[in-house]
Chain A
């Protein structure tokens, strides 16, 4: 019985195990047909191999890709060690910022630079602040203390100046009473007919 192509191919690839290999060699010693077929398969294989991409064809691409990777990947990675970026989630940043603002506001509102407690500045009005959340309450201890509204502006100013504070009072947005004479001055800039209408 002659050998089939699959056995010959496997033999050709050097992948045939014993005892089949020995049997194939024995068979090939006398069978002309199988030898011819083996030759054909060998030639086919050589034809396939001959069309392989050659080292000559590969070389320029090999160099090009290597220099690309070295420049863009390997060298960059070395730099990255020193330029690591840290990622923090946005809600985390917002929460931290909000907490910071609350604490800072409390501290700035209810402390003086010299560290005197607020109670000395405005008695019975401010409550000792513990930090973050601050609520101004004037209703505490009502029987003993007057509410802030019960003081006149003059009294408050007097008290503050007696404690050594210099207070400046400014009035926003004054709308002066417009006098007739003022109107005439403005009107005089207008065309001559108008004053006559007013009269």
Chain B
């Protein structure tokens, strides 16, 4: 199905399918809900206003993911340049509380994983976020990031290795 991004019907259908994906990508790079929302809004406005023809919804999705990923990386780069001592406003989304202890454990793991992803080097972070949170395969990631598939494979592996060691350290630290 061809997609014309300025056609309001096409737009809504792409939006419905792709928004959750790009929101996850933005969030797991910036770890800030408000910033992620702004980025996604901006990306979809650009998408609509540019009036691009895509061969399929997937092609439109890759375009949007690339834009959102770049904007998110720019945000964290700018943030890093800004005074590091400024207290970071990490806005963890408020979750409906499930039941006492279970919810607590879940939240702890999430916080740990999130802070580990946050500390990954940019190149590994992009690949890992697209792999785990945008649910893309190596080929799709390679297309979006414009790198080779084997490069994606190596980066996924390295990112997981670093994640593993960071999470192990955290767990030991907690227990």
Contact = CB atoms under 8 A, between A and B. Distances in A.
Interface of A: 5-6, 9-10, 13-15, 40-41, 44-45, 47-58, 61-62, 64-66, 68-69, 73-74, 77
Contact of B113 (A10, A51, A55, A73): A51
Of A10, A45, A47, A64, the most chain B CB neighbours within 10 A belong to A47
Contacts of B137: 13-15
A189 to B, nearest CB: 79
A54 B96 CA distance: 12
A48 B132 contact: yes
Given A5-B161, A6-B153, A6-B157, A51 B109 contact: yes
Interface in B58-116: 93, 95-96, 106, 109-110, 113-114
Contacts of B128: 48
Given A50-B110, A58-B19, A62-B19, A5 B167 contact: no
B2 interface: no
Interface residues of B, number: 44
B40 A44 contact: no
Contact of A15 (B11, B114, B138): B138
A41 B159 CA distance: 12
Contacts of B153: 6, 9-10, 15
A52 B167 contact: no
Interface in B22-66: 23-24, 27-28, 33, 36-37, 40-41, 44-45, 48-49
Given A13-B138, A50-B110, A41 B160 contact: yes
Main secondary structure of the interface of B (DSSP, over half): helix
27 contacts: A6-B153, A9-B157, A10-B157, A13-B138, A13-B156, A15-B137, A44-B164, A48-B132, A48-B163, A50-B109, A51-B109, A51-B117, A52-B132, A57-B93, A58-B24, A61-B23, A61-B33, A61-B36, A61-B40, A62-B20, A65-B40, A66-B12, A68-B41, A69-B15, A69-B48, A74-B48, A77-B6
A118 B54 CA distance: 71
Contacts of A65: 19, 37, 40-41, 44
B147 interface: no
B45 A69 contact: yes
Main secondary structure of the interface of A (DSSP, over half): helix
Contact of B45 (A51, A53, A61, A73): A73
Given A52-B24, A57-B33, A57-B95, 14 more contacts: A6-B153, A14-B137, A15-B137, A44-B164, A45-B132, A49-B132, A50-B110, A51-B109, A53-B93, A55-B20, A61-B36, A65-B44, A66-B15, A73-B45
B48 A53 contact: no
A77 B117 CA distance: 40
B69 to A, nearest CB: 15
A74 B154 contact: no
A125 to B, nearest CB: 65
B175 interface: no
B20 to A, nearest CB: 5
A49 to B, nearest CB: 6
Contacts of A40: 164
Contacts of A5: 157, 160-161
A69 B106 CA distance: 34
Given A13-B156, A61-B23, A74-B11, A56 B96 contact: yes
A9 B164 CA distance: 13
